[in-house]
Chain A
Amino acid sequence: MNTDIGALTTIFTEFYYFVCVVLMFFIHVGFCLYEVGVSREKNKMHTLMKNAMLIPLVTVTFFFFGWWIYFACVNGPGITGGLKDARWAWPWSEVMGAHMGGKLADGTLTLPADAAIWVRTNGVFWGCFALFSCTAGSILSGAVIERIRTWVLWIFTVLVGSVTWVLAAAWGWSPDGWMVKLLGYHDAYAAGVIHALCGAACVGMLIPLGARVGRFKRDGTPRVFPPRNTWLVVIGLFLIYAGFWGFYASCNIPIVDVDPSKERVVFSATTIYGTPTTLSAVTFNFLLALCGGLLAGYLASKGDAYWAFSGGLAGVIATSPGNDLYHPLQAFLIGGFVVYCLYRFHYWMERKFKIDDAVGAVAVHGVGGFLGLIVSGFVLWGSASSSGATPRVTPWGQAAGALICLALGFLPVFFLTLLFKKLGVLRIPLEVELAGLDHGELSAEQEQVRDLVTVELETVRQRPL
């Protein structure tokens, strides 16, 4: 901040992430519309509130401990070292609030080299991560609509949104993460650490939770629960696309001198690993992957709107490990291939295991992210995984990373779901499920309307119009 270029770099970075946060909010508008559109009339208000309220719950818990986990747990702990000192991410740290970068009041805080940069970007960088966390929560929310108790779902969203995905990010989505250092794991736009992990967490909830009443016939074949409002679903998915631009942009660091020799100055955007990339690369690959996914989703589903648009999203997810490096047409082909596979997987899983995934979250996020990582291991074989001295990308490194993400997503959620089931608090009572989650509110509303009509009729009787 002492030079013009330093000031411009800092203020630009601050503003860049600020805009990303705003864009990423569209993801949540999209998720709310999407879930409400898919849910039945009798459940729509509870579905809306279930999704919307996870935003404050995940955000505040990410402030309490999520941000600290990301910096402190890069070594495991216990794999490549112990917990790292990350006092700037403690919720009581003075740089977790408005600060001008002057002398720190407690005098003991260890900050990165340029305190002025950190105090200005801590909040906006934190905000981007907090919205990634809310996205993780929203992925879980959609899969289990219309039968899970809301407070139970909110506990899972905090577990995944503020703990497990953050742990995966510390391990595999940071240049200091042990998965990057040991495996050469490369996941530039978080296909594994968010999407595959959340898809696996959905499976962990869905198995013990069971299907909605009537979802499967006696012979085991599934019944279709058509979306209540197709327009809400489609608009929701388009808004998620829009928010995803913010997601992608916030996965980059916008302006960094990337020349390691420091003999020249070479400014570039970088990935979170510090590897150079360009926003043009992101734009090319995002759009081509979206196209590949849309076309494959349309083809596989024979023109079904829901799967075509979900396919677009899944195409972007599938190419996310390598969209900093892929050629756009590679992104197009990978997006299309993975979407075709995950569409088949969704219906195979439904028929084979009777898993009622109301929004296709397991396929779109879980399989999309997982297969995307596997493919990236072959396509990016030999590429540098980070800017540091880390192993190069390999198929086995990416596969191991993908499996770790799946395990970290599935295991904690599965065992906690079993516990809630044992306690008898996992699922709403059968009567409430049949009558609808909004039954109580609707009955009260109808009572109020009846009262009003009675009063109006009485008024008319006493004083004819």
Chain B
Amino acid sequence: MDNTGLVQGWADNPGGLGPLYPFAGWEVAITIVCVAAWLLWTIWQARFENATYRRQAQELQRAGSLTRAVLKEDGQKQDAT
């Protein structure tokens, strides 16, 4: 294989040309890969986010942590004012 696209030149009638993108004919396979990527991304995000919240909640439950965090927020507000 010495090329990936159907268009090797522009000398012919441009209006008669079809797909300009490479790997024409592989659209179904590319779609499957992309749908899988989207689903995996969503699953990864859900797991990552749930784990992060779990860890943060545990840390904040330690004595005084939550109070410090909330007071820090108040301090930021005062600074901004």
A residues with a Cβ closer than 8 A to B are 1, 40-42, 57, 60-61, 64, 91-94, 96-105, 116, 149-151, 154-155, 228, 425, 428-432, 434-436, 439-440, 442
Q: Is the CB of B18 within 8 A of A116?
A: no
B28-A92 in contact (CB<8A): yes
> In whole angstroms, how far apart are the Cα atoms of A442 and B16 in the complex?
58
The 10 closest A-B pairs by CB, nearest first: A435-B69, A92-B27, A431-B60, A100-B17, A98-B20, A429-B57, A102-B16, A151-B46, A431-B57, A102-B18
Q: Chain A nearest CB: distance from B74 CB in Å?
A: 10
Question: Are the C-beta atoms of A99 and B38 separated by less than 8 Å?
Answer: no
Q: What's the minimum C-beta distance from B81 to chain A, rounded to whole angstroms?
A: 11
Residue B63 CB within 8 A of the other chain: no
Total number of residue pairs linking A and B with CB closer than 8 Å: 111
Residue of B nearest to A91 (CB): B31
Closest CB-CB distance, B47 to chain A, in whole Å?
9
Interchain CB contact under 8 A, B46 and A99? no
Report how far A103 CA is from B14 CA in the complex, Å.
Answer: 11
Instruction: Assess the B57–A425 pair: CB atoms within 8 A.
Output: no
Query: In the bound complex, do residue B30 and residue A92 qualify as a contact, i.e. CB atoms below 8 Å apart?
Result: yes
* B80 and A103 form a contact (CB under 8 A): no
B18 and A104: CB pair below 8 A? yes
15 other contacts beyond A60-B34, A429-B54, with CB at 8 A cut-off? A1-B15, A91-B31, A94-B19, A94-B27, A97-B27, A98-B21, A100-B20, A105-B25, A151-B46, A155-B42, A428-B53, A430-B57, A432-B53, A436-B73, A439-B56
A171 to B31, CA, bound (A): 27
A90 to B14 CA separation, bound complex (whole angstroms): 25
CB of A96, distance to nearest CB on chain B (Å): 8
Query: Which residues of chain A come closer than 8 Å to B72, judged between CB atoms?
Result: 442
Q: Is the interface of B mostly helix, strand, loop or mixed?
A: helix
> CA separation between A93 and B31, bound complex, in Å?
10
B77-A41 in contact (CB<8A): yes
What separation, in Å, do the CA atoms of A228 and B76 have in the docked complex?
12
Cα separation A91 to B17 with both chains bound (whole Å): 20
Interface digits, B37-50 against A, CB 8 Å rule (1 contact, 0 not)? 01000100110011
Q: Is the CB of A431 within 8 A of B20?
A: no
On chain B, the residues within 8 Å of A93 by CB distance are: 27
Instruction: Tell me which of A101, A102, A154 has the highest count of chain B C-beta atoms within 10 A of its own C-beta.
Output: A102
Query: CB < 8 Å: which of A41, A57, A99, A103 contacts B20?
Result: A99
